[in-house]
């Protein structure tokens, strides 16, 4: 696999909500006829919310780090910064699945971005962040990994809900 190859795409429909403090599944409907519907994750502005994804690392992964970005929008006119913290862990052989998988303790890549002017329902493609191989749990091809996203309501300044379309992981 080469640098910049897509490794994981985390979207609203291939993840898992948390039992508490989870982002909620929502949709955006366009103005076409018939209407197209985009599934998004709604991360509230006032409460830190989370969402998880679980993947198997592809066999052609070369063992590099990850370039991470997200795509989404906001549901109001706030142009304050939006911030997502993204973490990854390896779920190794003999991991107790009912135990703490360590998603909250893993090193995060924090991606902060400012929406475009007049941002309501406008697509925003974030800046990128880097997650090193070691900080991602040192995954190998065939490993199962867990990925967690958190909107850090305590540090971002946007007053709208984040409507997250996807998080993209490219091999570095």
Rounded to whole angstroms, the Cα distance separating 10 from 166 reads: 5
Rounded to whole angstroms, the Cα distance separating 150 from 107 reads: 12
Q: Which residues pair with 113 in a beta bridge?
A: 82
Residue 68 burial (10 A CB sphere; 0-12, 13-18, 19+): buried
3 pLDDT more than 80: no
163 pLDDT more than 80: yes
| Domains identified in the chain and CATH numbers | 6-171 (2.60.120.260)
* Chain segment 125-158, per-residue pLDDT in tens: 888 999 999 999 999 999 999 999 999 888 899 9
* Chain segment 38-80, per-residue pLDDT in tens: 999 999 999 999 999 999 999 989 999 999 999 998 888 888 9
**Given this model, what pLDDT does residue 1 score?**
47
Q: How far is CA 131 from CA 16, 37, 106, 115, 128, in A?
A: 22, 32, 11, 23, 10
User: Residues 93-118: what's their mean pLDDT?
Assistant: 90
Radius of gyration of the chain (CA): 16
Length of the chain: 172
Is pTM beyond 0.85 here? yes
Rounded to whole angstroms, the Cα distance separating 158 from 79 reads: 6
Rounded to whole angstroms, the Cα distance separating 156 from 146 reads: 24
Which three-class secondary structure state does DSSP give residue 130? strand
Candidates 108, 120, 13, 6; CA nearest to 72 is 120
User: Residues 105-127: what's their mean pLDDT?
Assistant: 87
**Given this model, what pLDDT does residue 2 score?**
59
Rounded to whole angstroms, the Cα distance separating 59 from 62 reads: 9
* Chain segment 5-41, per-residue pLDDT in tens: 899 999 999 999 888 999 999 999 989 999 999 999 9
């Amino acid at each position: 696999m080469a640098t910049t190859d897509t490794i994981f795409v985390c979207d609203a429909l291939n993840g898992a909500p948390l039992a508490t403090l989870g982002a909620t599944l929502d949709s955006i409907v366009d103005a076409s006829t018939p209407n197209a519907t985009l599934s998004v994750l709604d991360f509230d502005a006032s409460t830190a919310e989370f969402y998880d994804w679980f993947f198997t690392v592809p066999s052609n992964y070369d063992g590099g780090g990850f370039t991470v970005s997200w795509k989404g929008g906001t549901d109001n006119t706030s142009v304050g910064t939006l911030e997502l913290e993204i973490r990854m862990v390896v779920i190794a052989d003999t991991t107790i699945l009912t135990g703490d998988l360590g998603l909250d303790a893993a090193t995060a890549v924090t991606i902060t971005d400012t929406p475009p002017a007049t941002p309501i329902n406008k697509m925003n493609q974030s800046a990128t962040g880097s997650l090193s191989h070691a900080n991602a749990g040192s995954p190998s091809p065939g490993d199962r990994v867990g990925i967690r996203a958190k909107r850090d309501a305590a540090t971002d300044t946007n007053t709208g809900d984040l409507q997250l379309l996807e998080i993209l992981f490219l091999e570095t």
